[in-house]
Amino acid sequence: MSSTSGNWYLDHRADGSGSDSPSGTASGTGYDRQADREYDYDGFPVDRDLRDRRAGGGERLPVRQPNFLSAPFSARTWRETLHLVLNLPIGILTFSCAVTLFVAGVGTVLTFVGLPVLAVLIVTCRGFGAMERARAASTLDLRVTAPEPLRPARPGIGARLSAALLNGPGWRSMLYSVLMLPMAVLSFSATVLLWTFGIGYASYPLWQWVFPTYADMPGLQLYSHNGHTVYLSSAPQIAGVCLAGLLVMFVTPWVVRALANLQRLMVRGLLSA
């Protein structure tokens, strides 16, 4: 090929006038549609035009919902499970701090100490709110608009106290901190109990041998009454336990989803701007 024809080919490719573009790219643009795709946390492709909905307004990125059979193995299910399990230590922390500071502040409100303590309560609970918004974004795929920062109207300690004590989002964060404890007890107990029961019983055929080998029992004891004891040791009984565990294991993700949606409602209603 001559240098003239070679230069024409380079110019022809550079300005996008040619139609002989490679497979998977837009004609003459060098835009690779496959490489530019976004995927959700479960590995499914997401419409790139909707990516901005992740920010603001409490909207979640639309993702493909796992079906009944894939739900126990979905990354979304296990992110929500992690969120609900962590609720317990976080709920104990937020409840203890909020109630302690509130009681101390209200109990001394007639003195100079009470108002600063209540102001510390509001600032602390706003910090808890920021932590919970970040946690919801990472494990619940929920992003809400954060409230405006505290801005005193004028310099001085009095203005700072007023800005904190009259801050609506701060008091809503305090309410969230208190409600976290009952929510944490419910979500932690249900999540751990259901997953333990489901996975444990579904795998019963794998560990039933432990009872006759080490416990001098033919199998898991179902009940004992007036000297009559029933053990789950026969093949039909073992299969029944396994099926019951599998049923619970496949139902649990939807219980987890319902509890996670309740948590999302709390975040939207109490921690958003």
Q: How does pLDDT run across 14-41, given as a tens digit for each residue? A: 444 444 444 444 444 444 444 455 545 4
Q: Looking at the predicted structure, is the pLDDT value of residue 137 above 90?
A: yes
Average pLDDT (175-198) is 97
Q: Looking at the predicted structure, is the pLDDT value of residue 44 above 50?
A: no
Average pLDDT (63-89) is 89
Mean pLDDT score of the chain:
82
On whether residue 32 sits in a domain, the answer given is no
On whether residue 92 sits in a domain, the answer given is yes
Q: What is the tally of structural domains in the chain?
A: 1
**Residue whose C-alpha is closest to residue 55's, from 146, 128, 184:** 146
Q: Looking at the predicted structure, is the pLDDT value of residue 263 above 70?
A: yes
On whether residue 171 sits in a domain, the answer given is yes
Average pLDDT (240-261) is 96
Average pLDDT (196-225) is 92
Q: Looking at the predicted structure, is the pLDDT value of residue 87 above 70?
A: yes
Average pLDDT (75-83) is 96
Average pLDDT (44-54) is 48
Average pLDDT (253-267) is 96
At residue 157, the pLDDT reads 86
Q: Looking at the predicted structure, is the pLDDT value of residue 168 above 80?
A: yes
**Residue whose C-alpha is closest to residue 122's, from 150, 143, 152:** 150
At residue 49, the pLDDT reads 52
On whether residue 262 sits in a domain, the answer given is yes
pLDDT-derived band at 63, boundaries 50, 70, 90 = low
Structural domain that includes position 143: 71-186+256-271
Q: Looking at the predicted structure, is the pLDDT value of residue 212 above 70?
A: yes
On whether residue 194 sits in a domain, the answer given is no
On whether residue 45 sits in a domain, the answer given is no
**Residue whose C-alpha is closest to residue 258's, from 140, 144, 179, 178:** 140
pLDDT-derived band at 64, boundaries 50, 70, 90 = low
On whether residue 172 sits in a domain, the answer given is yes
On whether residue 146 sits in a domain, the answer given is yes
Using a CB cutoff of 8 Å and minimum separation of 24, what contacts does 185-190 make? Answer: 185/88, 185/91, 186/259, 187/84, 187/87, 187/88, 187/259, 187/262, 187/263, 188/84, 188/85, 188/87, 188/88, 190/84, 190/255, 190/259
